[in-house]
């Protein structure tokens, strides 16, 4: 399923629209940092190898829990911009069902305009974070 803004879940569509309004790369970075600042404090006890995102230059941790059939993510990173990517994804994917998350494709990042601003390693990191969240969403539904 290709991610055009119309096919995105409402929270993710709102995020994409916010980034589309920020025409300059500097504004997009500020927006990204803002998403990182909105993340809830991540418990130190959850900073364990099984919650670490593989393939990221930064230290990135993601957890997923299933509440009433909806996935609730938490995440953290030691890099401000990467933490912003985590925040964007947490806000965009929280409250969706595991199947809704698994059906998404990460190409919505192009709609935000961030892909042109991200370094190749950050773009790769974004993809790895997204894939980890999909995997955890699937696992959360199996472990019920």
Q: Which of 56, 86, 93, 96 is catalytic?
A: 56
- Is pLDDT larger for residue 117 or for residue 44? 44
d(CA 15, CA 87): 11
Mean pLDDT calculated for residue range 121-132: 93
pTM exceeding the 0.85 threshold for the entire prediction? yes
Domain definitions of the chain by residue range: 5-142
Mean pLDDT calculated for residue range 29-33: 93
42, pLDDT greater than 70: yes
Q: Model confidence at 1, in pLDDT bands (50, 70, 90)?
A: very low
Mean pLDDT calculated for residue range 130-143: 90
Q: Could you please report the per-residue DSSP string of the chain?
A: ----GGGS-HHHHHHHHHHHH--SHHHHHHHHHHHHHTSPPPPGGG-SGGGBPTT-SS-EEEEEEEETTEEEEEEEESSHHHHHHHHHHHHHHTT--HHHHHH--TTHHHHHTHHHHS-HHHHHHHHHHHHHHHHHHHHHHH--
2, pLDDT greater than 60: no
To the nearest whole number, what is the mean pLDDT of the chain?
91
56 among known catalytic residues: yes
d(CA 125, CA 58): 8
3, pLDDT greater than 80: no
Which one is the CATH code of 5-142: 3.40.50.2000, 3.30.1330.40, 3.10.20.30, 3.90.1010.10? 3.90.1010.10
74, pLDDT greater than 90: yes
62, pLDDT greater than 90: yes
């Amino acid at each position: 399923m290709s991610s055009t803004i119309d096919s995105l879940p409402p929270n993710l569509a709102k995020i994409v629209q916010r980034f589309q309004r920020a025409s300059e790369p500097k504004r997009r970075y500020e927006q990204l940092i803002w998403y990182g600042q909105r993340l809830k404090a991540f418990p130190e006890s959850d900073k364990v190898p099984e919650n670490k995102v593989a393939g990221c230059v930064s230290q990135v941790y993601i957890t997923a829990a299933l509440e009433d059939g909806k996935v609730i993510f938490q995440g953290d990173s030691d890099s401000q911009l990467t933490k912003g990517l985590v925040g964007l994804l947490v806000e965009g994917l929280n409250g969706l069902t595991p199947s809704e998350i698994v059906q998404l494709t990460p190409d919505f990042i192009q709609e935000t305009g961030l892909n042109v601003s991200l370094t190749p390693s950050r773009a790769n990191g974004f993809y790895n974070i997204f894939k980890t969240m999909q995997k955890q969403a699937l696992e959360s539904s199996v472990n019920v």
